[in-house]
Structure 1
């Protein structure tokens, strides 16, 4: 059966192009070459008698200056970007590298500088070989001034952007933005547009042919195959799942639950598996990356509890967003009736977000207090499942703080912060319990 390419898969691959530094500069270079020859269209028209005379020497001087300077600026831009990437990877986490590389401001600036260099080289070669006439020279001069203005504006804006690109706060903001987008997509389509898992009969297991992380599931392709083969597909591995030889990607069965031989190759191809997790369809990955940043900040070598506190606030915003009603739209109702997909586990999301911070920040009173306040806020939301999970994590974090904190006053502060979520039952430190009762 031929493999079906769906719109969803095309969207996924187009998003991957943003992670490649060469794509946008290449597109701008092609446009620059085309722009250098657009001026030739003015030759042979009545514009020759209307436009002022521009000498070839003047435009050659401008193009020569641009050609000499743009290559230097482009080289400087690449060096600055590489330095910012290294800084982001060392101060935050290597898992945020793809977001830093995909920075639009840096890619646009590099594309502008390289495109201006190519434009100047092509235009200068054409002018020196008398390719343009009077009207063409004039419009080439106008294009050159426009390119100069674009380069200056882009350079000024890019200097401010590159100064912030490698900073920890900028990396955290980028991770939060990517996580927000992934959370919104999954909140609006909790089963990826498919049916929720309903049946207990699994059917024939389908395993991956390579080891790696599930990056994307083409639900449309699964639906098309299931309709043609008269099958039902139950997805077992959501995006972000590590596909091992013993980890089933999905289960397929016939409509009548008969055990027949099934060609599952199209099902396997609907699961895109790579070496790394991606942010697009994996909301939990964003939570893991933020938790890693907080864990590094709480390490003895860094000792930066303020960053961990900032990320706790970020988690609070993200889970409040997750609790909001879905955005009305067609994606809310299942479109693929032959595919069943499980919803993402709220318990797993809380584990990804708060476990590392509770463990690494157990001996830091200000982090423990802020964590208890955040979990108490989440427990107060009108969501019974989130309340139960938040209270469970609050109790676990409090137990870790009882072990990690040495001073009774520090433990009392954490207990007071958690009081609304959990009654004080500390038997480890009698002084702390008496102070809390007071």
Structure 2
């Protein structure tokens, strides 16, 4: 963690969602490589390097400059088409997951960097920046760049063909959700301690922004509490929507607090913005997966197989999340901050309510939903078992109302075990 408010990891994740970040980074690297090649001229290594005709270098750089701009433009068009397709077939909330696609960003960044490299190298060549040794070095770098472009292009074409498909979108949502669930297993209270006792009297830390909590920097909140000899209880977990002047946390002090205590520094440890993000919000992953399933179940799409795939994904994620935790696995380094655990019942509401409602009239979805919930009801975790049984009963009631054939109702009831 670093500084008040946003953590380094949070900022890195936001930069990964910006299409300009990697091309800019790669372009800076290509410029550094060009000027590093000029250092070879004065290093004495020239006696060991073969002679390269300047015309050969100019030809290679001209080819790179002419072709890379076209390929980079083509890459942008293909990426936008794939992103649009993924958003339309999945859910708008999955757009940032697709935007983070490492292969597409790597390809686009490589093509832009190769174009920048060839243009600047050609200019420095014409200005006499290189001597004989530098010609070979820049030629070797250009050949390496050319080989990299070919390899990345071939690999990227295979990836971009699948980028807009629904299956890879579900897989990306699963990976993102699994990462945050694994983090939640290690830090179920975001590095703080569990809530103990009723809510104490104290001062309210409120939000001046209307939006969703994206991240809580518990480490900085702990340091603020140490400085003021206070304790903090978080009331708004990541993913919570905040109305104007909503209470995000409650602080209380061992001694009467000074009249001018700075609560704005504590409020700055909460990152609030318009949209939810995956970073510390396990429920958001299940919201995205559920929305994908609900869109697949709509009459315009009528794709129950996708909903069943989503259900299987959810069961896999939830089963991994609630496995017994080894002793010493949970990290609670910041003991002045109390943080509530993620509510299993609310997570199940996010995951299964919409699928149970929209899939009530499809016997295959109803049967698979009941089997999925029955598997989760066998969990050793009492909260998960109770939530699974509740949603099983709710989904069965909906299926009994929506299905018109008695045998279909009987199949769903048999799968539920009720």
TM-score in terms of structure 1 length: 0.92
Alignment of 1:363-378 (within 5 A): 363-378=361-376
Indicate conservation of the 8 Å contact 2:182/2:321, yes or no. yes
Bigger CA drift: 85-94 or 380-389? 380-389
| Aligned partner of 2:14 among 16, 20, 26 | 16
3-state DSSP class of the match of 2:337? strand
For 1:356, the equivalent position in structure 2 comes to 354
| Aligned partner of 1:136 among 107, 110, 134 | 134
Deviations for 1:197-247, whole angstroms, at most 9, x for unmatched residues?
A: 113124222210110000000111111111111111110000000011253
Structure 2 CA distance for partners of 1:32 and 1:333, relative to 1, 3 Å: closer
Alignment of 1:234-245 (within 5 A): 234-245=233-244
Deviations for 1:1-53, whole angstroms, at most 9, x for unmatched residues?
A: xxx81697122112211111111110110111111122211213443333222
User: Structure 1 residue 380: deviation in Å?
Assistant: 1.1
Structure 2 CA distance for partners of 1:58 and 1:261, relative to 1, 3 Å: closer
**Quick one: distance in 1 between partners of 2:115 and 2:40?**
23
3-state DSSP class of the match of 1:232? strand
3-state DSSP class of the match of 1:233? strand
For 1:436, the equivalent position in structure 2 comes to none
Alignment of 1:127-276 (within 5 A): 127-200=125-198, 201-245=200-244, 247-256=246-255, 262-276=261-275
Alignment root-mean-square deviation, CA: 1.7
Q: Which runs of 5+ in 1 are unaligned?
A: 423-438
Structure 2 CA distance for partners of 1:6 and 1:206, relative to 1, 3 Å: closer
For 2:283, the equivalent position in structure 1 comes to 284
Bigger CA drift: 346-355 or 386-395? 386-395
* Greater RCO, 1 or 2 (C-alpha within 8 Å, sep 6+): 2
3-state DSSP class of the match of 1:206? strand
User: Structure 1 residue 59: deviation in Å?
Assistant: 1.0
**Quick one: distance in 1 between partners of 2:70 and 2:197?**
63
**Quick one: distance in 2 between partners of 1:104 and 1:227?**
40
Q: Which runs of 5+ in 2 are unaligned?
A: none
**Quick one: distance in 2 between partners of 1:66 and 1:258?**
66
**Quick one: distance in 2 between partners of 1:47 and 1:14?**
39
User: Structure 1 residue 259: deviation in Å?
Assistant: 10
User: Structure 1 residue 123: deviation in Å?
Assistant: 0.9
Deviations for 1:179-198, whole angstroms, at most 9, x for unmatched residues?
A: 00011111211111111111
For 1:293, the equivalent position in structure 2 comes to 292
Deviations for 1:141-188, whole angstroms, at most 9, x for unmatched residues?
A: 111110110000000000011111111111111011000001111121
Indicate conservation of the 8 Å contact 2:296/2:307, yes or no. yes
**Quick one: distance in 1 between partners of 2:241 and 2:79?**
31
For 2:53, the equivalent position in structure 1 comes to 55
**Quick one: distance in 2 between partners of 1:377 and 1:165?**
32
